Amino acid sequence: MPKRIVFIDGIRVITEEIDKVFSEIIRDAEFFHIVDEGTLHFDSEDKRLKRRFCNLALSAEEIGADVIVVTCGHGVPSMPILQAIVETPVVNVTLPMIEAAVNAGQTIGLVSTEETIVKPIVELLEKAGERANKKITIKVGLCEEAFRARLSGDLAKFDELVIKMTEEVSKTVDVVVLAQVSSCRVLPKVKDRIDKPILSPLITAAEEVRTILDLKRTRHRMAI
């Protein structure tokens, strides 16, 4: 029986991209999405948002998730609570990418289409740097116009703006981090134009989920 991955999404238009990337890395799983666009209207530290994520995680567990994946970057502050209230492993797409970025370089470029997510990710990068005893520098490229283009359905403009910002940020950094899941669609278009590593939250998260599922299978075989 295929393993079940349940995604908690803050925006509906990214679900196809999520399935595409995860299916390339995890071939024997089925995907379900719980979309709550209302999560976009709260600050990441707002208690109401944390309660909302708790309810979403509980719903994901109730429908039989083997792994719960939170694709909203502003859900990071809620992670300790979610991991405490459900027995199912919970992964936020941002966190595996943070560790990979700190391992990849000392000067990190952060490309974001939403201002609200910049501060939480910068803080995560700084904390990861401290854990690694590594002094890091973060350079932020913010392009909120791209976010508005995405919401309006203008994907061509979205791609153009994110690619342009990624190229600009890459000039003075060791590694580039794409903050949003929605930006992952530009990766094939930009990776050959930039000679720096570009990290996608979907790819690093999918690799972590694959590791979790492999471990669960190993434990199951040992228990038989």
Contact status, residue 8 vs residue 38, Cβ threshold 8 Å: no
CA torsion sign for 134, 93, 44, 170 is positive
Tell me the CATH number of domain 3-92+203-223, given options 3.40.50.1860, 3.20.20.80, 3.40.50.740, 3.40.50.300: 3.40.50.1860
Nearest to 178 by CA among 12, 21, 1: 21
pLDDT tens digits, the chain, 224 residues: what are they?
788 999 999 888 789 889 999 999 998 899 999 999 888 788 777 889 899 999 999 999 999 999 999 998 778 888 999 999 999 999 999 989 999 999 999 999 999 998 888 888 999 999 999 999 999 999 999 999 998 998 888 989 999 999 999 999 999 999 999 998 888 889 888 888 898 999 989 998 999 999 999 876 666 566 65
Write down the H helix ranges in the chain: 15-25, 47-62, 79-85, 94-104, 118-131, 144-151, 155-170, 187-190, 201-223
Q: Alpha-carbon distance 77 to 46, whole Å?
A: 9
192: DSSP letter: T
Record the pTM.
Answer: 0.84
Tell me the CATH number of domain 95-201, given options 3.30.565.10, 3.40.50.150, 3.30.950.10, 3.40.50.1860: 3.40.50.1860
